[in-house]
Structure 1
Amino acid sequence: MNVIDVLGDDGLLAQNISGFVPREQQIIMAEKIVEVIDQQDVLIAEAGTGTGKTFAYLVPALISGKKVIVSTGTKTLQDQLFTKDIPRLLTAMSLKIKARLLKGRNNYLCLHRYHKAALMPISRFPENKALFKHLRQWIYDTSLGEVSEFVDQVENRLLLANLTSTPENCLGSECDHYQDCFVYKARRKALDADLLVINHHLLFADMAIKQGGFGELLPNADLIVLDESHQVPEIAGRFFTHLFSSRQCKELLNDLLTEAGEVDAAFAAISEPHEHFKRALRDALLVMSQMPERESTRRLFQTPVVIEAFDLLMHQANTLLSALEPLVVQSTGLQNGYVRLAAMIDLLEDMRQQSDPAYVYWFEAREKYFALHKSPLDVADPLSEFRATMDAAWVLTSATLAVDQSFAHFQSQTGFEPAQTLLLDSPFDYQSQALMLLPKNLPEPNDFHFNQRMFEYLQPLIEQATGGVFMLFTSHRSLQMAASHFRQVSDRPLFVQGQADRNQMLEDFRAAGNGLLLGAASFWEGVDVSGTSLSCVIIDKLPFAHPGEPVLKARIEHINKHGGKAFYDLQIPKAIISLKQGAGRLIRGVDDRGVLVICDRRIISKSYGNRFLNSLPDMPVTHELDSAIRFMTQSTASNGH
């Protein structure tokens, strides 16, 4: 069986899947992947919307007969692959293979923590009684043990922390419930999979564990496919970040109390130092709540009141550690608590010293929460090291990887060099399906009157749009201003991010057919509204990340200090990838038509604007509002409405 046998005009998919249309770009990508598998090489492929990249990588993976891991950007995409795409392909291709799905441990009920919680007052709270009664039988009936099976019955989401485990509090093979553990059952099944579907969070958790020299979560594979690869630098950065937080401290204190209650005299031995540590944590929280929300920790540990609070926290943590030491032989749970506390003390000391030049140290502080972070300046090195240990072919793909037709930025960020690259345009006809409106007469985006003028300018376009309208914002403040403006002047059904569940909001928006949806970051990607439900996408500003954000600020300083130009080497490429994601919401199907509006005049007035325009699909451009309105009304006529 070869690629053409499956994806060609007379192929198995054309014969067996109704509505399947062979696409040249899909076949080119699939054949390239066959080559990469044979050569055990690396392929970085941008596949424009509508290419059919999922089948383009799954078909060569399946016909290769090799062991394959597919990693996706989200759990939603992971479920779609496993429950829809893979079964359809296997049926159409008459293949029988072992496909498995594996999620992170917080998706599975932890039997150890469930049994502890069932004995605690939390299980007798009126709002939790029905759930615990249901779980008593459920743990015997469920085959997967996934919390998604009962999550709708959980009124207080904080309860989930008592029912699931983290890498820190898992007792591993020392646990009394190890043989029945849902996490380990899922991992044991995953080890013999021919095709394993995971998500990036799990992949990088595995990387981080291997980096520390511990055992493996994931089996070895001959081919690793990373879908939605544009997310890789950010997710990898989060997983290679070390964290010390007030929440970790509270969870540890709670776990120690629970475990000590089951060991003779243990509670008496630790109760006093436990209470002192708890008070010192409360003091640290109070001090941190007076600090800025997010900032480098450079000056933090030069502030006398902060030094004093963390000296006390460190002292009380060490006192509690000493009290725990003689108890570790009596209980696996207390031994786990001792190891966790020792690691937290070491990390806190490192955070205060800030001595590793390869990392940026920063903090976030809110009224009842603080976290100290140690984030890598660069994830390319740890990613390269990890890749070197894997004897596999790699395919990294997304609709948005290239900047100005080049993969250099993505490769320098991820360390996937050298690699074969492939840039496939969307098969959609943007020349006739889309129009880009770039207004010339709006104020500069930092002008005080920008938002108000933009809303007034867009009013006629929004009112005459034939289908739904997306307005995508770079800040929540602008989004709220738009909400209050359009509530007063528009009769369209209004959907505002944050006022309802995201998925429900999208369902309602599709059903409305003529809604106005106002969204920020999470609506720029992974949102699929096809057909007349969406005929216009409006982007307020070029999505430059805030340069004051601590990690970005440190990376900017690092690049500039080493002879680079961070604005051109980092900030512009990041903004281009985000803009491509936002613009990609518009044309999702072969019959879609619509207008893309970018209200930021810098795209035409600044020299770097061409890099943005060259990175977007090639579509006609107008600067006239009337032309955009005309295109919209024509599209209605041509669609027969």
Structure 2
Amino acid sequence: MNYVVIDIETTGLDPIQHEIIEVGAVRVVDGATTDTFHALVRPETSIPSEITRLTGIDDFMVADAEPASTVLPRLLQFIGDDTLVAHNLQFDQPFLQHHVDKLGYTLIQPDGLCTFTLSRVLFPTLSSHRLTTVAEHLGIVPESAHRALSDAMTTAKVFLQLTEQVLALPYLLVQQLAQLSGLYSQRTSDWLTELSLHVMAQKADTIPDDCEVRDGLLYTAPPPRSDDEKSKPSTWPVKDVIQEALALLSANGPLSEFLPGYEPREGQLQMAAKVGEALTAHKHAVIEAGTGTGKSMAYLIPAALYAKTTGERVVVSTHTMALQDQIEERDFPTLLRLFGGELSLAVQKGRKNYVCLRKVRNEAGTLSALASPEDIQGVMALLVWLSRTSEGVREELSSKSVGLGLWGRVQSETETCINKRCPFFRPCYFFRAKTRAQAAEIVVTNHSLLLSDLKTDHRVLPKYEALVIDEAHHLEEQATKHLGNEVHAAQIAALGHRLSRDQGRNGIIRDLLTRFETSQSLPFAMEEKLKRAQEWIAEVAQSADVAFAVLGNMVPAGKNELRLTDDIFKHPSFIQFSEQMASLRAPIHALRELVKGLQEWAKTAATDDEAGRILDAAGYLDQWLQGVELLEEMTVPSVERVTWIERRGYGRPRYSVHTAPIDVSATLRTLLFDPLPATILTSATLSVRGRFDYTINQLGLRDTLDEQRLITGIVPSPFDYPSQARLFVPNDVPELAKMSSEEAATWLTDSLYHLAVASGGRLLALFTSHQMLRETAKHLRAPLAAKEIAVFAQDVDGSRTAMLEAFRNNPRSVLLGAQSFWEGIDLPGDQLTTLVIIRLPFAPPSHPVTEARHERLTNSGQSPFWVASLPEAVVRFRQGFGRLIRTRQDKGVVVVYDKRIITSKYGATFIQSLSGVRPRVAPEQDVLRQIRSFLTQSS
């Protein structure tokens, strides 16, 4: 095949309403570019200013250009019957198609190759598949972006590199990709088929040494069994864990030998000593370690020494996957070098983070032309990924390559696991991880899995005797979530739809009947039950929908949540809901019996594959029934938990029901702290005004403190905050809380504009209101664009990850973020010089859990504000403040627009909880002048 790589620039995104203003094309023959085509196109309307900013093409440039009626016929002649290639063919092809149709012409080959789609398949772990990102990933220096011929040239180079990528794949995999791509694009299938012949000629059907094939599925081979065995007996007989840890971290210790520029940090040494003391004295510890302390090595080194000395496993739990990955990728290699390779380390994530090989094989085998192109391409991406991944975890994959819906169908799950009957049991990625964790001396996991382990009576994690909880300021919040339950109408409906749909003509139950209709292994009684099951599922699904709607309609207009109180339980609508649920007991009981019947039938299945199919159906049915049953269980009144209904969205609202314990402290004490000899809780923000009362009470450690089994300590940051940072509070700021979102956004736009110009971008504004954020972004974008400063707004311009990447790559930009941006983001150096806190981060007191907890505090004679709301807000504020200074070289300013920090009685609590930084209070214009002066001095 010969190819023509095209790119077009347009006045907008709609092929019908907008026009083409530039075309570029490159011919590729036998792996080389041979000819080009380029033309500007004069549109009938003026070019929008945003398109000019993006492309550099303005009305003056196209004034003397030929119209589309002249350019497009010449382009069609250039293309001929060659195969079209474009980076986002789904955009370029409809545009060309529409505009040549208007002229009375047709595209000879409307089908073609899309390098955007192919890169999503071939590079499923790449975070972005934009042309420039893919080019850079392949080592291609992109031509100037957003000009047609330049982008076509870059796309041509990418296409040739993608060809090489395919040729490097195993023959079996290329064959499978060719077959699957034929379900949505014959041209793509022909291209891959042609390449598969080259692969066969070069290396036949050999399988790479690090892969294996089973049942037609290729995946990375598991390590030799000896790698899974428990590590050698300890060769580190340590008399004093604390002294050994300090020696390893000292100026003349091993770290200084293989870490260039290593310098011991006083705070790190202090923390290591406290961790060692807690472990060896069998005490719990609450340690606040400021940013830059190096706290992960401060707890990992004594933890490793303790494990090597006692033979007891230590578990480390983090809140975020980012920290978990950081420990695995940065700290584990250092630890291994310190211990001469004689230390076994493992990471264990939740089961649904791992892929199920059997499900991928089944998904690939059942796809048809009726499937969406996104799902087909997603399965193709999974097949490529399986040939490379050693971990098999979801976090490796781009959500653009493998969507959430597809992942939900291929994730590993307890309910659908057939264990040793599965042909992929030995290479299963989940069991690989579990085996490594069972053999490891240090296991890193996350709070979610830690709490699931508590909830399931320790059936998730391997047995451990000591625990380190990093990012411990999230423990209560996570315990509240994971020790409660939630059920979503959309999830119940989707799972029911998957079981049976189209009046029983499709779905898992119908597939099971069809697969076994000619089989002798299908008992007659089971066949009848499966047929009846479709009626029962439809009945339960319809009633569950009605039940959710009845509950959802009880939420008052203008609100998102409704807490179930005694008055609500007596409401006629809730009584109607209870009656609706009562009517489901008979079909639910029948379906429960069917689950048992399916599990028994699977035991007698003729093959492992048949057993897998049967147990899949049993698992999905059981999962669905649990959700429906949970809906009824959760709505039973309880004095120990709070239950609420949520209604989100408009038009077609999404309903869900949630329940959570009002107080998690007793549960954490009973299930976590009391059984363990030693637990270390650490974070950069655990104290309020230098005291740990809030954390101790919140997590149930008061008795431990009274028994003198609790070590506490604040390890200061090595940063010099008074000289590195300035805290400003403009005293002429209006009270934003008393203004509408529109009014507040108008004022914020003007103020943020001047701040952004003063700092040349590099500004992060932290909001507590998504609506105010969106309104501000809308007003701020145009004035800052005139100063060549971009605005990136969370959930407006993209995901959190995408916004952070864009902000890092564009110094002249402003980032507007809400809840998730207050912590867990690292922008060192001059990536961030100005941090704006719009409002003090008090949680809304109206949330059902907060409301119930405040009521309990009030009833016990305590002040909810001083005991709960204020400490929580201070911790959040300190997290936000901590985004600014990340290294000893950083300098920057924090501007707080909330005057309560200097005018209210409680404002001093925020300031006294910071590291020596005191507010500079002045009118806004004076603040701007001081900021310009400080940033100029620090540049």
Q: Which residue identity does 1:439 align to in structure 2?
A: P
CA deviations on 1:196-240 (whole Å, 9 max, x unpaired) are: 111111111111111xxxx52212223211111111111111100
CA deviations on 1:22-58 (whole Å, 9 max, x unpaired) are: 2111111111111111101111111111111112111
Match of 1:315 among 583, 586, 594: 583
Q: Assess, with a 3 A threshold, how the Cα gap between structure 1 residues 163 and 617 changes in structure 2: closer, same or farther.
A: same
Match of 2:779 among 459, 464, 485: 485
The Cα shift of 1:313 comes to 4.2
Whether 1:470 aligns to 2:764 is: yes
The Cα shift of 1:9 comes to 2.3
Match of 1:363 among 642, 645, 648: 645
Q: Which residue identity does 2:728 align to in structure 1?
A: L
Q: Assess, with a 3 A threshold, how the Cα gap between structure 1 residues 251 and 314 changes in structure 2: closer, same or farther.
A: farther
* Map of 2:888 onto structure 1: 590
Match of 2:815 among 485, 497, 517: 517
* Counterpart secondary structure, 2:593: helix
* Map of 1:351 onto structure 2: 634
Alignment TM-score, normalising by the size of structure 2: 0.64
* Map of 2:723 onto structure 1: 432
Return the alpha-carbon distance in structure 2 between the equivalents of residues 218 and 571 of structure 1: 34
The Cα shift of 1:70 comes to 1.1
2:763–2:833 CA contact under 8 A, matched in 1: yes
Return the alpha-carbon distance in structure 1 between the equivalents of residues 763 and 386 of structure 2: 45
The Cα shift of 1:628 comes to 4.1
* Counterpart secondary structure, 2:512: coil
Whether 1:571 aligns to 2:842 is: no
CA deviations on 1:518-559 (whole Å, 9 max, x unpaired) are: 110011000111112211111011111111111111111111
* Map of 2:279 onto structure 1: 37
* Map of 2:137 onto structure 1: none
* Map of 1:614 onto structure 2: 912
What does 1:287-302 correspond to in 2, within 5 Å? 287-292=550-555, 293-298=560-565, 300-302=568-570
Whether 1:420 aligns to 2:748 is: no
The worse-fitting range, judged by mean Cα deviation, of 522-531 and 149-158 is 149-158
Return the alpha-carbon distance in structure 2 between the equivalents of residues 131 and 512 of structure 1: 31
* Counterpart secondary structure, 1:595: strand
Return the alpha-carbon distance in structure 2 between the equivalents of residues 301 and 117 of structure 1: 44
* Map of 1:250 onto structure 2: 493
Whether 1:268 aligns to 2:531 is: yes
1:242–1:375 CA contact under 8 A, matched in 2: yes
Return the alpha-carbon distance in structure 2 between the equivalents of residues 605 and 229 of structure 1: 31
Q: Which residue identity does 1:158 align to in structure 2?
A: G
CA deviations on 1:256-309 (whole Å, 9 max, x unpaired) are: 752564364143121111111122233334444534321202355444345435
The Cα shift of 1:128 comes to 2.5
The Cα shift of 1:179 comes to 4.6
Match of 1:80 among 326, 332, 337: 326
* Map of 2:601 onto structure 1: 330
Return the alpha-carbon distance in structure 2 between the equivalents of residues 371 and 173 of structure 1: 36
Match of 2:547 among 281, 284, 287: 284
Q: Which residue identity does 1:571 align to in structure 2?
A: S
Q: Assess, with a 3 A threshold, how the Cα gap between structure 1 residues 7 and 57 changes in structure 2: closer, same or farther.
A: same
Return the alpha-carbon distance in structure 2 between the equivalents of residues 580 and 477 of structure 1: 23
The worse-fitting range, judged by mean Cα deviation, of 7-16 and 139-148 is 139-148
* Counterpart secondary structure, 2:644: strand
Q: Assess, with a 3 A threshold, how the Cα gap between structure 1 residues 450 and 495 changes in structure 2: closer, same or farther.
A: closer
Return the alpha-carbon distance in structure 1 between the equivalents of residues 372 and 770 of structure 2: 36
Match of 1:223 among 466, 472, 493: 466
CA deviations on 1:313-347 (whole Å, 9 max, x unpaired) are: 44235314325515343244565466556655653
Return the alpha-carbon distance in structure 2 between the equivalents of residues 48 and 437 of structure 1: 22
The Cα shift of 1:482 comes to 1.6
The worse-fitting range, judged by mean Cα deviation, of 138-147 and 102-111 is 138-147
Match of 1:110 among 356, 378, 399: 356
Return the alpha-carbon distance in structure 1 between the equivalents of residues 910 and 384 of structure 2: 56
Q: Assess, with a 3 A threshold, how the Cα gap between structure 1 residues 185 and 3 changes in structure 2: closer, same or farther.
A: closer
The Cα shift of 1:399 comes to 0.5
The Cα shift of 1:504 comes to 2.9
Return the alpha-carbon distance in structure 2 between the equivalents of residues 175 and 318 of structure 1: 34
The Cα shift of 1:174 comes to 7.4
What does 1:118-267 correspond to in 2, within 5 Å? 118=364, 120=366, 124-133=371-380, 135=382, 142-151=389-398, 154-167=401-414, 170=417, 178-210=425-457, 216-250=459-493, 252-253=495-496, 254-255=498-499, 257-258=507-508, 261-262=511-512, 264=522, 265=527, 266-267=529-530
* Counterpart secondary structure, 1:623: strand
The Cα shift of 1:479 comes to 0.7
The Cα shift of 1:509 comes to 1.4
* Map of 2:659 onto structure 1: 374
The worse-fitting range, judged by mean Cα deviation, of 286-295 and 537-546 is 286-295
Structure 1 residue ranges without an equivalent (≥5): none
Return the alpha-carbon distance in structure 2 between the equivalents of residues 112 and 311 of structure 1: 41
2:356–2:410 CA contact under 8 A, matched in 1: yes
Whether 1:444 aligns to 2:690 is: no
What does 1:620-639 correspond to in 2, within 5 Å? 620-624=918-922, 625=924, 628-639=927-938
Return the alpha-carbon distance in structure 1 between the equivalents of residues 619 and 899 of structure 2: 57
Whether 1:495 aligns to 2:758 is: no
Q: Which residue identity does 1:225 align to in structure 2?
A: V
Q: Which residue identity does 1:295 align to in structure 2?
A: L
Return the alpha-carbon distance in structure 2 between the equivalents of residues 139 and 511 of structure 1: 31
1:45–1:424 CA contact under 8 A, matched in 2: yes
The Cα shift of 1:574 comes to 0.9
The Cα shift of 1:391 comes to 3.4
Larger radius of gyration: 2
The worse-fitting range, judged by mean Cα deviation, of 88-97 and 13-22 is 88-97
Q: Assess, with a 3 A threshold, how the Cα gap between structure 1 residues 602 and 104 changes in structure 2: closer, same or farther.
A: same
* Counterpart secondary structure, 2:374: helix
Return the alpha-carbon distance in structure 2 between the equivalents of residues 84 and 250 of structure 1: 43
Q: Assess, with a 3 A threshold, how the Cα gap between structure 1 residues 410 and 628 changes in structure 2: closer, same or farther.
A: same
Q: Which residue identity does 1:352 align to in structure 2?
A: T
Q: CA RMSD in A?
A: 2.7
The Cα shift of 1:361 comes to 1.0
CA deviations on 1:115-147 (whole Å, 9 max, x unpaired) are: 554454579443323443565676577543323
Return the alpha-carbon distance in structure 2 between the equivalents of residues 130 and 489 of structure 1: 41
* Map of 2:49 onto structure 1: none
Q: Assess, with a 3 A threshold, how the Cα gap between structure 1 residues 446 and 630 changes in structure 2: closer, same or farther.
A: closer
Higher relative contact order by CA 8 Å / sep ≥ 6: 1 or 2? 1
Return the alpha-carbon distance in structure 2 between the equivalents of residues 225 and 447 of structure 1: 44
The Cα shift of 1:180 comes to 4.5
* Counterpart secondary structure, 2:260: coil
Q: Which residue identity does 2:374 align to in structure 1?
A: E
* Counterpart secondary structure, 1:353: coil
Give identity over the alignment, percent. Answer: 30
* Map of 1:406 onto structure 2: 691
Return the alpha-carbon distance in structure 2 between the equivalents of residues 141 and 433 of structure 1: 45
User: May I ask how many residue pairs the two structures share in their alignment?
Assistant: 635
